[in-house]
Structure 1
Amino acid sequence: MLRSLLWVPGAFLIVTVLFDLLASSMQTGEGHLSRLIHRPLYAVMQGAARLLGRRILAWNGIVMVVSTLLAWVLLSWLGWALVFWGGPGSLVGASTGTPADLWDVLYFVGYTMSTLGLGDLKPVYTGWRLLTDLTALDGFVLITFAISFIVPVAQTQAGQRGLALRIHRLGGSAQGLVVTAWHDHVNGTQGLVDDLAASLNALDAQLKNTPGLYRFHERQPEESIDLALPALDEALSLIEYALDAPPPKGLRAVRASLSSLLSTYCRVHLRVPAQAPPLPDLAPLRAAGLPLRPDAEVQAAFATLEARRRTLRSMAERAGFAWSDVEA
């Protein structure tokens, strides 16, 4: 009696994987199943990084992608196996007519999902034959959408890496970005804003579609968006609140893109540090001859950014960096 009801959990597993597959592969966000897999794995990787160093975090992306694909395949495989095992006599040997045992069922589901169609086992009745067709179709869908899941992830990660390298070469740290823009850019701070506006907007759209990329980290600091975005946001805060000069046009739109990126980050990582990072060091800006507002005015302005700067600090520290790397 209980065996005949195994199709219920089997169908539940199949449908759950399909919904998660569609949610992740059609770029509508991170599926619930994927999130359940990623969060504990990410916590394990973070713990390993504290023991072995931040370079191990560079494996996060591979671990997340492989674990997602394995979960989709194994849960679908198990689901279809439960469906067929729940029908005694649904499968028999093609040449002997002997009813399939549990291992035969697992074998049959595996090669049917992979669309190999070996044929040494066969379904008995029309209903089971139709379910065999659905199993093969589900395997084809799984393979197809797995590819459509991996390709955008790889493209977005490459885009992140490219943007991080641009920010690094424009100055890298918060103070370095401001000094370089002021002295070396043809259009000053306005040029910095203009150069990065479109890239930030594109990155915002991509990460809304694949927010799980906030769990991917790079090996090299100059390629890490987790270091580049805090440095850029802090630099824009310095331009807006510390420089005694009119703010560049379009600054508000760029800050809005960064705010949206941070909002997506907070949906992935629910906890941020309890304390904001220290107030920025203005000495490098003074040494470079930049016009600055009074210290008290700057401190008062940055006090209003405490929640935002806590999130920026969280982004850098989760990737294994210290705040001093943002403002070095």
Structure 2
Amino acid sequence: MGWLAAAAGTALVLFVLRDVFHTLWHPTRHGGLSRLLMTGVWRLAKASPRRRAAGLAGPVAMAMVVAVWALTAVLGWALVYWPFMPEAFTYPPGLKPADHAGFEDAVYVSLVNISTLGLGDIAPTEGWLRIVAPMEALVGFALLSATVAWTLGLFPALARRRSLALRISHLARTHPTSDQVDADAGAALLDGLATDVSVISVDFLQYAESYYFHDGDGHISLAQQIAGAVHLADQASAARHPEVRKSAAVLRAALDDLAAVLDNRFLRTRGSAREVFEAYARDHGDVGRA
């Protein structure tokens, strides 16, 4: 039974490491556990009558993912230690080994190790356990570092998305005429937008969790403003200037790629790019409303 518990604990640890890998370091996949938590919190936020729930959905879900990762890893290693307590551990003179061999004591040992605080008053003496304990500390340090890197990468992606939405909003509010778009400056403008849209597509692939961060209504919401980029591409596609038409085609291709990423990863409409963007606007525009 002891080895069965240890095997179950090892499986839990490997499950967490796999989820961390697919969430943070694999650019084409999304961790199963993290995705369930993210989508679950997002749906709860959509069902909530409080608009404040929209802005909290992403940060709360992200904190929950990290907490579940840490808790599952702690419990997994505790299951590894527990069957071998107290025989394979050393205790200080003030503690009776028989009184401190329960599962809660194994959790305590696991917490001490994963937090990289060093060995506490209960330490392993068995050869293989003396190797496992430092390995847990290394995983704890890696988990902490990965969480910091995740945060540092995710929030710049959100800033790029909101910046693109604001730029599209500026263009929509200035109402550029067909003659203004049908010029060399118009081609440069379309090329810049196509580049920015492509960057957002990569951000959604690399940081899929960013989808569940609500930008709010208005000028910084890409879900609300992306239709302006579609309209501009349609307007420029009828231009007389060949470079403008070429740039419009490039922008259209970038928008199609963005729609494909949104649909394949989140929306599942299987519709046209315009239909996907409409579903994107609904999904984000209705969050937090009664």
After TM superposition, is the score higher than 0.5? yes
Q: Distance in 1 between matches of 2:180 and 2:231?
A: 19
Distance 1:262 1:187, change over 3 A: same
Aligned twin of 2:197: 200
Stretches of structure 2 lacking an aligned partner (at least 5 in a row): none
1:236 to 233, 237, 248: 233
Contact in 2 for aligned 1:26/1:149 (Cα 8 Å): no
2:178 to 173, 178, 182: 182
Could you tell me which amino acid in structure 2 is paired with residue 193 of structure 1? L
Cα offset, 1:313, TM superposition: 0.9
Cα offset, 1:198, TM superposition: 1.9
Q: Bigger shift: 193-202 or 162-171?
A: 193-202
Contact in 1 for aligned 2:24/2:146 (Cα 8 Å): yes
Q: Distance in 2 between matches of 1:15 and 1:37?
A: 19
Aligned twin of 1:258: 255
Could you tell me which amino acid in structure 2 is paired with residue 105 of structure 1? A
Which is bigger in relative contact order (C-alpha 8 A, separation at least 6)? 2
Q: Distance in 1 between matches of 2:206 and 2:56?
A: 22
Could you tell me which amino acid in structure 1 is paired with residue 109 of structure 2? F
SS at match of 1:193: helix
Q: Bigger shift: 87-96 or 119-128?
A: 87-96
Aligned twin of 1:311: 276
Distance 1:212 1:234, change over 3 A: farther
Contact in 1 for aligned 2:42/2:58 (Cα 8 Å): no
Q: Distance in 1 between matches of 2:250 and 2:159?
A: 24
SS at match of 1:250: helix
Stretches of structure 1 lacking an aligned partner (at least 5 in a row): 274-305, 323-328
1:221 matches 2:218? yes
Cα offset, 1:110, TM superposition: 0.7
Superposed CA RMSD: 2.5
User: Number of residues paired by the alignment?
Assistant: 279
Cα offset, 1:263, TM superposition: 1.4
Distance 1:13 1:181, change over 3 A: farther
Distance 1:163 1:68, change over 3 A: same
Q: Distance in 1 between matches of 2:239 and 2:251?
A: 20
Q: Distance in 2 between matches of 1:216 and 1:77?
A: 28
Aligned twin of 2:4: 5
1:17-166 map, 5 Å:
17-26=16-25, 28=27, 29-48=29-48, 51-53=49-51, 55-89=52-86, 90-95=88-93, 96=95, 98-99=97-98, 100-117=101-118, 119-166=120-167
Cα offset, 1:319, TM superposition: 0.8
SS at match of 2:117: coil
Contact in 1 for aligned 2:30/2:208 (Cα 8 Å): yes
4+ runs of 1 displaced by more than 4 Å?
Answer: 183-189, 243-247
Q: Bigger shift: 217-226 or 76-85?
A: 217-226
Cα offset, 1:249, TM superposition: 2.1
Cα offset, 1:105, TM superposition: 1.2
SS at match of 2:123: strand
Q: Bigger shift: 217-226 or 243-252?
A: 243-252
Q: Distance in 2 between matches of 1:160 and 1:321?
A: 19
**Deviation readout 1:74-104 (Å, 9 max, x if unpaired):** 1111111111113342334233461432211
SS at match of 1:248: helix
Distance 1:181 1:63, change over 3 A: farther
**Deviation readout 1:130-164 (Å, 9 max, x if unpaired):** 11111111111111111121111111111111111
Q: Distance in 2 between matches of 1:220 and 1:184?
A: 29
Paired-residue identity, %: 24
SS at match of 1:180: coil
Q: Distance in 2 between matches of 1:211 and 1:244?
A: 36
Aligned twin of 1:277: none
Contact in 1 for aligned 2:13/2:72 (Cα 8 Å): yes
Contact in 2 for aligned 1:156/1:206 (Cα 8 Å): yes
Q: Distance in 1 between matches of 2:253 and 2:102?
A: 60
Q: Distance in 2 between matches of 1:182 and 1:135?
A: 63
Q: Distance in 1 between matches of 2:117 and 2:201?
A: 41
Could you tell me which amino acid in structure 1 is paired with residue 42 of structure 2? Y
